[in-house]
Every structure is written in structure tokens, then in C-alpha cells.
Structure 1
Amino acid sequence: MKKLLFGALMLSFLSACNSDNVSNQTEGSENTPAISGTALQRGCASEEIRQAALKNSSELRQKYSEIEARTERFENDMKLGKVLSDGTVEIPVVVNVLYRTSAENVSDARIAEQIAVLNADYAGTNTDVSKIPSEFQGVKAGDVKVRFRLANVVRKSTTKTSWSTNDAMKKASTGGIDATSPSNYLNIWTVGNMGQILGYATFPESSGLWNDGVVIASPYFGKTGASSPFNLGRTATHEVGHYLNLRHIWGDANCGNDLVADTPTQTTSNAGKPSYPLYNTCSGVQRSVMFMNYMDYVDDAAMFMFSAGQKTRMQSVVASSGARSGLRIN
């Protein structure tokens, strides 16, 4: 069983950051995942950005430790029946659209489409949920009990041709759009181009800060007009997972720890559309990996589940005592 070890984790945060776009060395992989017919692979900078932020801020490190300790207590209390879910939480969403071209100015219809994808994926009613292998049926999350409601759309024209992960899109003074009350709203920014990065998000220790929220490159936002193979709205599903305290399923390390007991340990990220079963070997143990999890790097069409353990982690941060409890008051 994967266990939370604060010392080892904090040492990893204080070490040099590893880019999410660089493949890790694998301990052992018996199947090579098939790459779809495109050179583009999913790139998410969330963990890299988080490591840098934690390294530079003792306050964030303290908040991180408190959140993980609270999450561990919540998980244990859930197992013992000492705490019940607070019921379904509806998160109000503000979409901030920064656009240079008409294609980047994502339509209201496409925004509604993206909200619908989030609601289906987090409710476990996505149409491809039937593809979950029988091996993982017993640990599927089902309804995470988190819903999303569009509260507002803010649009701003820009002359910028590309954006980086320096959060410039989140400040009016640097050409972006200021967040709307980030303690109480999930802010999502769409921008035209971030190179190989599809999106990134802040984690719960950043709750309420000016830069708190999710960024998605407009070609991968929503479905209609989005770029294949990331045209089913799953980039938002993945990034909102980070926002609700999920790590990448491989733990951003060779045979790493994502702090979730029911997701099999895997050597590294998977890409494209792997064939099931896909086996990895970590610490001499061969496992079938859960590459179809939303927190892996596969194509949108190949990801369609959260695990029960991931559900508990997310419920912990949106609970009335959680780090993102402010989202509950709207």
C-alpha cells in the first residue's frame, strides 16, 4: 500500500524540478504504449510549477503539510465510518478567455460544452465509462460528488501570440485577466498557445491566492473545434483534478507515489492510446497499470475514470473543513 511520507515528499519538492514533458527512465515496462498518429503528446506543467513554488515559500510548504495531514485523517475517518461525505458540492466557475484570433475566442457554446464534460466525468456518467476494465471496476470512483456551474465568462482581446507558465495570463497588469474571488470561484483561463503545454493548475495550498486556478490552451478546451487527440474536454478534467489535490498517477517519478492506495504503481506516464492490459514492473512486482485514469497522459479518448481513492482525496479538500471549502458558499 502506498503511504504518505512527509519527509521524502518534501525532499522531492526541494530537489530540482523535473519537466513533465521529459520521459522518465523506466524500471520495467513489458508493453510499450501505442502512440496515436500525431507527434503531439499531453504536456502538463502543474507539478513542476508546484515544486518551484513550494521550494520558494515556507508558507506554502506549511499549508501543503497541513492539507496532506488533514487528507490522511479524512481518509482514515472515512474508512472507519467516522465521517460521511458532505453531499454533492457545486463549484462556481469563471472562464477567462484571452484571445488574439477568432479561433482563440472560444464560444459560449464551447464553454458550456466543457462544463458539461466536467460534470459528466466527475459524476461518473461519461459515455465511455463502460470501457473501464473489469480489473478496475471494484475501485472506480463512480460519482465524485463534485459538480460545476458556470458563473461568468470574462473576455479580453490580446496581441500576444504565445503564453508561458509564468502566470502572466492571470494579471491584468501583464496583459491577462485578474482572477474573480479565487477563494470562492474556480477560475479557468484559456489562452491561444503554450507550446507543448496543454494546461496547468494550482494545488489546494494555493487556495485564495491571486494565481489560483486552471489554465488551458484554447485548442484543447471543450470539444467542438478542439484539436485531436485532445478534443474531448479531458484536459480540463485532468487539470481540475490537480486543483482538487490529485497528483499525476505515476507520482512524477520512476515508480513514484501519487498518494492514492488503489492506483497501481507505474513506471512513468503513458501516452497515445495504449492497449489493455499494459504491464509495468516496480520493485520487482509486475502490475497492470491504470493508464485510462484521468491523471495519466494518454489521449482524451483513452482516459475515462477516477479511482475511489482519488475521489476521497478530492472530497477531503472540498469538505466543509477542507482547503477549498470556500467554493461551497456560492
Structure 2
Amino acid sequence: MKQIFLRIGVVLLLFSACNDNDVDITQDQIEIDMSDFFVYTDFDTSVTSKKVQGKGNIEPCYTMQNLNRLLNENPALEKRMYDIEYHTRKFVAAKKPTGTPGGGPPGNNEDPDPPTDPIPYDGPITIPVVVNIIENYEGQVSDTQINSQIAILNEDFNNSNPNTSQVPNEFANLVANYNITFTLSEINRKISNKKSWGTRDAMKSSKKGGIDATDTSHYLNIWVCEIGGGILGYAQFPGGRASTDGVVISTNYFGETGGVYGDGRTATHEVGHWLNLRHIWGDGGCSVDDYVDDTPISDGPNYGCPEHPTTACGSTDMTMNYMDYVYDDCMYMFTVDQHTRSRALFASDGFRSSFVNSN
């Protein structure tokens, strides 16, 4: 599929203070460049399938292909995603010490004064989770498995993964704490003799034999079922339909199940997409970015447990990032700028601000 780029040039936005308590940065002129933004992914440059010993062909993530489908079905989605990206870049630009999109992470571990938000820049966020399980027999997905997945999400989004101690020195100052806590709110179970559910969101509809979403403006919905095709999981980016908003994880890769993809990091990766993160290589060649300043440019995913350094596009790959495709034990960090990008969703006018306003 041919990549479609939205190129509307450079937009100059002039912020004005809302009241005397607003910080000075909101009065600066911030340049927002959207010329590189694109939504469709070229499958030829988004290599996903990999043969894993004893498991056949594994496709770690189907999120970008799912996005292409949703864009084809709903042309208005492209504009919504553009608006979310514009808001994100405006938010990121306001966080930079220079007030420009390319300023890099703050120095001396100090954040610049943020614009007015409903929460502090690094303040805690609690996200209630509804787990929707479609299983072939009662108890196929155990409560222990569910609880382990919630614990893993909390570990990874609070920088408590013990493997983070292995982060190479060149990336050590980029490790971020998302400061997000996930709480198990509800478990919905349904028995079905359906062997695989595919990737067209049938599991999210009771009319199609699945389970309807629970209030996606206030709950992260995770569907657990057999997807099929060797696919571990997929997510919906911010901007899609409310009725299908959330994450889908294949039964054998949800929580602690054993094996190279059995430590719950598929959910961490997919929740990263739900929080508006792209794959770390940008789903393209060296000229395509993931819209995050402090992640190195790369030309494709990494698999297995790569030795460091692994290089591509003239730089060292951040193979241990949760948004790559390595084995679960070998991914153990988000970056400062990935964190900032996701935080934009929870700003007062962000796409997921309802999660903050409800807490």
C-alpha cells in the first residue's frame, strides 16, 4: 500500500495567556511542523512476521495493519489522528527548554514549566482496566494469569522492571517512569467454541459473539482471545471508534504464560500504542521516524535478544525499548520523550483527558 503523507507545511501557533497564573512559555511562538506526519503504513517496509523455533510464524504486533484497515473503512479517522498529532506536538514543544520540537530531553533532570494541565507533568495517573476474556472452556485464562498481567503493566509503566538495570550507558539517562498505575476493575468472561477471532474486531461486539466494550472513555479495555495467524496482539490508536477502543492480546501471550513471549510484554507494547506510541523504527526505512526525538532512527524491527550494540541507519538501535519486537525478557525501557508524547493525551484538551478528570 502506498504511503500517504499529509503535507500542509508549517503552521505558526501563537499562544496567549489565559490568566495571570499561566506560565510564560504559553506566550511564546511555537513552530509546529506537520510535514512528516503520515498515517498509512507501507507493508513492504513494515516487516512483522518472524519464524520462532517451536512456534511457527509469529507476528508480534498487528496494530499498523489494523490502523490501515480502520483508515480505509473510515476516511474521517485520518483527520482525527492529524488533530491528535498536532495537539501532541504542541504539547511536546511546550515541554522543551527551547520551546521548539527538536530541543531534546530536559537537562539536569529538570522539566521546563508546563502549560496548565489537569495534572502535574509527571503526576500519577490511575487507569482502571476491564479485561474481557473469550475462552473455549471455563478457566482457560486463570485469575492468576490476569493478575500477573496487571502487575507486569504496573512494573513496566513505573520503571520497576528489574531488567532495566541492563540498559546500556548511552541510553541510561533516557529511561522514563510513566507513573501510570493500572487497576483491575472488572473481568468479563464468555465461553465460545470459536477457534480464532482474526483482526477485524469481532471479539469487541456481542452481536458477533464477542464482548462489548465498557465505557472506553474511563476504562482501558483489554480483550483476551485466540487471534489466530500467529499474531500476539494489536491495539487501536487514539482517535478511533469508542466502541472498539482498547487492546487485544492472544490468550497464550497474556500475562505470565512461559516462553520467549510469555512474560506479559505484549500487553505493555500494545498499551504503548494505545498511548499513541509508534513502533520504535517508525514502520519505514531510515527516512521515517516514530515522532520521538530521543529514540534512534532505525530501518526495521529487532527480534530475539540482540547483542549491544546493534546498528542501523548510522546509529545504535534501542533494541530494549518496549516498542521494538525483541523477546519479552529483552525489552525493558520507555524513553523520556515517549513519556512526554503519551502525556499529551492526558492534558486538559487531550484525547484521553477523561481518565484524569474521572479520578
What TM-score do you get using the length of structure 1 for normalisation? 0.87
| Aligned match for 1:54, one of 61, 71, 87 | 71
- CA displacement, residues 39-93 of structure 1 (integer Å, 9 cap, x when unaligned): 4544211111112322443321121111111111111111242415161110010
For the residue of structure 2 that corresponds to 1:90, the secondary structure is strand
Q: Kindly indicate whether residue 336 of structure 2 is the aligned counterpart of residue 308 of structure 1.
A: yes
Shift of 1:17: 8.1
Tell me if 1:114 matches 2:141: no
C-alpha RMSD of the superposition: 2.4
Residues 46-195 of structure 1: pairs in structure 2 closer than 5 A = 46-80=63-97, 81-83=112-114, 84-85=120-121, 87-101=123-137, 105-141=140-176, 143-195=177-229
Q: 2:277 aligns with which of 209, 229, 246?
A: 246
Task: Name which of 237, 250, 255 aligns with 1:217.
Answer: 250
Q: Cα deviations across residues 161-206 of structure 1 (Å, max 9, x unaligned)?
A: 1110010000000010000011111000000242211000001112
- Aligned-pair distance for 1:222? 0.3
* Separation in 2, partners of 1:14, 1:21: 12
What is the deviation of 1:14? 7.8
Task: Provide the C-alpha distance between the structure 2 equivalents of 1:175 and 1:152, rounded to a whole number of angstroms.
Answer: 19
Of structures 1 and 2, the one scoring higher in RCO (CA 8 A, sep 6+) is 1
Query: Equivalents in 2 of 1:44, 1:126: separation in Å?
Result: 21
What is the CA deviation profile of residues 88-126 of structure 1, one whole-angstrom value per residue up to 9, with x for unaligned ones?
Answer: 1100100000000357x3111211110010001000011
Unaligned runs of 5+ in 1: 24-34
Q: TM-score, normalised by structure 2?
A: 0.80
Identify the residue that residue 293 of structure 2 maps to in structure 1: 261
2:243 aligns to what SS in structure 1?
coil
CA contact (8 A) 1:187 1:213 kept: yes
Question: Which string of whole-angstrom CA distances, capped at 9 and with x for unpartnered residues, describes residues 235-256 of structure 1?
Answer: 0000000000000001111223
Partner residue of 2:323 out of 261, 282, 295? 295
Contact kept? 1:89, 1:146, Cα under 8 Å = yes
* Equivalent runs, 1:224-239 vs 2, <5 Å: 226-239=257-270
Q: Is residue 279 from structure 1 mapped to residue 319 from structure 2 by the alignment?
A: no
CA distance in 1, matches of 2:33, 2:96: 20
| Alpha-carbon separation, structure 2, partners of 1:116 and 1:7 | 39
Q: Which structure has the bigger radius of gyration?
A: 2
Aligned to 1:204: 238
Does the C-alpha gap of structure 1 residues 14 and 58 become closer, same or farther in structure 2, counting only changes over 3 Å?
Answer: farther
Question: CA 1:301 to 1:36, structure 2 compared with 1: closer, same or farther past 3 Å?
Answer: farther
Q: Which runs of 5+ in 2 are unaligned?
A: 1-30, 98-111, 115-119
Matches of 1:4 and 1:273 in 2, distance apart? 37
For residues 17 and 166 of structure 1, the distance between their equivalents in structure 2, rounded to whole angstroms, comes to 21
Q: Please give the secondary structure, in 2, of the residue aligned with 1:128.
A: helix
Mapped contact 1:17–1:51 kept (Cα < 8 A)? no
Q: Which residue identity is paired with 1:263?
A: T
Take 1:136 and 1:14, find their aligned partners in 2: how far apart are those partners? 28
Aligned length, in residue pairs: 308
One-letter code aligned to 1:257? D
Asked whether the 8 Å contact 2:49–2:57 carries over to 1, the reply is no
- Name the % identity: 41
Partner of 1:270: 302
